[in-house]
Structure 1
């Protein structure tokens, strides 16, 4: 397996390895898992990413999430990210599927709004537009390292509230349905996630974050906005330009990402599996002291 660096200090393409290799070989999995812990974003090119194989690959890294209510793929282990309607045609820009795609263009980390947050997301390209539709990543681990020591110390004992409805309301007031709001109440997480394998800390934030525990609302939101801007500063990102057969996985503990726009008339179909974080991934240390027992 060859590891080819991609981004500014993070991200790598793995060559000479397939999803099937990882799914079936303990040694290959161990090497890929080590690369994941080090590089945070991994790219696999020219893969035969069937649903069955993607799920087998994903299960290597932990328990797969069941897709939430209100999403394409609800009740399965797959999140279907598509702008193709039931009639097989691309939906108009004001359609709910298009609005959800716009919400994914906000900087975020997956599942920070859930009772169990995510370790990793695995995304495969099935149908891609001729132009645009890239996915952009930043390392919140490297952002944490760039902070001054006083802020690093402050964040390690700070907690932020995350809410799915908050991020969706930035696109449309009712984009999060009543069913989604009921199923996904706000969650509180430590603002620094320490990797138990290598000890690196990373800022844990997303567009879902709306308040800081113990801070006045406006001041907390200002701190969140400043940290988000700091972590996504120009020159710090890796922009992945998709090709058919690409599979990309990323560490939700140590990155943020966003989709990029593409022409509204062009179809895009991506399939995501998401792996829940466990205590072995450090999730037990992320809860406020009053609720650190595992869910």
Structure 2
């Protein structure tokens, strides 16, 4: 297996191993997991992808999430990212499916709004538009390391509030349904996630982040916006141009990503599996300490 660097200090292509190899072979999994910890974004090209193969591959990295209420694929282990209507054609630009796709064009990390955040997401290309629809990634690990030391020290003990309804509300009022809002109340996470394997810290940010614990609303928003701008500065991203058979996985602890626009009349179908972070992935240190724990 070869690992070929792709992006500006992160992201790599894995060659000489298929998803099935990683799912069934311990040595292939160990090499892939090491590359994942090092590079944060891994690209597998030319894959024969089925739902069963994608899920078997995903399970090697931890427990798969059950898709939340209000999403296509709810109750399964698959998030269906589709702009295809019942008639087989692309839905109109003002359709809820299209608006949700537009919300994914905000910089974010998956599942930061959940009670258990995500380790990794695995995305497979099933139907891709002829033009556009790329996925863009930045390394929040490298962004953290670019900050001056005093700010890094401060952020180690800062916590941000994340809310699914906040990010969806930036696209359209009511885009997050009452059912989704009830199932996904705001959660608070440390703003720096340290990788337990290599000890490197990464900013933990997303479009779902709306406030910083202990700061007034304006100051907290300003800090989140400034850190997001720093993490997504020009020249810091890897832009993945999808081909049929591509699968990309990324570390939600150490990256942000966004979808890029494509012509509204062109259909797009992507299937995502998402793996919950566990204690071994450092999640135990991320939550806001309770008053009892702080005493």
Give the alignment's TM-score, normalised by structure 2.
0.98
The CA distance in 1 between the partners of 2:169 and 2:226, in whole Å, is 20
Alignment match, 1:80: 80
Q: Is the 8 A contact 1:285 1:292 kept in 2?
A: no
Alignment match, 1:191: 191
The CA distance in 2 between the partners of 1:143 and 1:149, in whole Å, is 12
Alignment match, 1:274: 274
The CA distance in 1 between the partners of 2:152 and 2:27, in whole Å, is 36
In structure 2, the CA distance between the partners of 1:259 and 1:149, relative to structure 1 (3 Å rule), is: same
Q: SS of the residue aligned with 1:233?
A: coil
1:288 CA drift (Å): 1.2
Instruction: List aligned pairs for 1:62-211, cutoff 5 A.
Output: 62-211=62-211
Alignment match, 2:40: 40
1:292 CA drift (Å): 11
RMSD after superposition: 1.0
In structure 2, the CA distance between the partners of 1:43 and 1:91, relative to structure 1 (3 Å rule), is: same
In structure 2, the CA distance between the partners of 1:289 and 1:223, relative to structure 1 (3 Å rule), is: same
Deviations 1:57-96 (A, max 9, x none): 0000000000000000000000000000122111000000
Q: Which runs of 5+ in 1 are unaligned?
A: none
Give the alignment's TM-score, normalised by structure 1.
0.98
Q: Which runs of 5+ in 2 are unaligned?
A: none
In structure 2, the CA distance between the partners of 1:159 and 1:102, relative to structure 1 (3 Å rule), is: same
The CA distance in 2 between the partners of 1:253 and 1:168, in whole Å, is 21
Q: SS of the residue aligned with 1:75?
A: coil
Runs of 4+ in structure 1 over 6 Å off: none
1:291 CA drift (Å): 8.3
